[in-house]
């Protein structure tokens, strides 16, 4: 019984913030599904071959982009080339799911210490998250910037990545108002509490629910195996 309780609590917590965080597997106002397509009965959730995209990821992609990292440098989709990368989305003023996502990503960086796996956090709040702000956020979370990059871009670019490529919802949520440090308020920003595993050609290999401990263990193991298979 003692082993069941933490998982139950995690599920309840996940349900509590799912709507505000952007885990929307229904139809958005734009009239299309925001999230992974349902799998056919009997289909495995994740591929047994670490470098083969999952069935759930076959219609997902990360389109070409231009972003700015925490040091003000321009990065493009070339950041994925020849590497295995775990990607997530956040914003620094988020008081709902982002602290959990960032901690889970930090846990992934620790679990994959000594491997060539890289990590990319993309802000969904260009109005507030300047390079200096996201750098400070990374420092506050003990990020190793040699392995974990924080980036920001304009709303159009973020929309193309999150909605256009990964099929998740992203955008302002005026029903939840956030009080920012130092005064002022802003709307919550809907974004996915999932991590994307990206392959050496920029292809999406799979998406993993960051609030599921089993999924995170599976992600760790697959990222390590994929990097080993690349031999880099």
Residue 93: closest CA among 203, 187, 19: 187
Residues 6+ apart with CB under 8 A from 187: 172, 173, 174, 176, 177, 178
Q: pLDDT tens digit string along 102-135?
A: 999 999 999 999 999 999 999 999 999 999 999 9
Question: Considering the entire predicted model, what is its pTM?
Answer: 0.84
Residue 168: closest CA among 127, 144, 196: 196
Q: pLDDT tens digit string along 131-162?
A: 999 999 999 999 999 999 999 999 999 999 99
* 3-class secondary structure, 40: coil
* 119 close to 83: Cβ distance less than 8 angstroms: no
Identify the pLDDT of residue 182: 83
């Amino acid at each position: 019984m003692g082993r069941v309780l933490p998982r139950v609590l995690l599920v309840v917590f996940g349900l509590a913030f799912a709507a505000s965080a952007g885990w929307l597997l229904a139809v958005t106002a734009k009239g299309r599904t925001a999230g992974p397509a349902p799998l056919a009965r009997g289909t495995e959730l994740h591929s047994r071959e670490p470098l083969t995209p999952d069935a759930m990821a076959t219609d997902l992609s990360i389109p070409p982009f231009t972003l700015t990292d925490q040091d003000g440098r321009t990065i493009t989709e070339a950041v994925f080339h020849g590497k295995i990368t775990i990607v997530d989305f956040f914003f620094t003023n988020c008081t709902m799911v982002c602290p959990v996502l960032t901690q889970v990503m930090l846990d992934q960086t620790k679990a994959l210490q000594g491997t060539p796996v890289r990590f990319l956090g993309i802000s969904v709040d260009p109005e507030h998250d300047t390079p200096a702000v996201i750098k400070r956020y990374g420092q506050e979370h003990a990020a190793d910037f040699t392995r974990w990059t924080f980036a920001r871009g304009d709303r159009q670019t973020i929309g193309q990545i999150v909605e256009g490529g990964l099929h998740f919802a992203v955008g302002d949520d005026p029903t939840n108002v956030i009080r920012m440090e130092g005064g002022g308020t802003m709307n919550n920003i809907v974004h996915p509490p999932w991590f994307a595993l990206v392959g050496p050609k920029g292809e999406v290999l799979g998406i993993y629910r960051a609030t599921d401990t089993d999924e995170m263990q599976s992600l760790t193991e697959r990222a390590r195996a994929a990097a080993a298979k690349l031999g880099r």
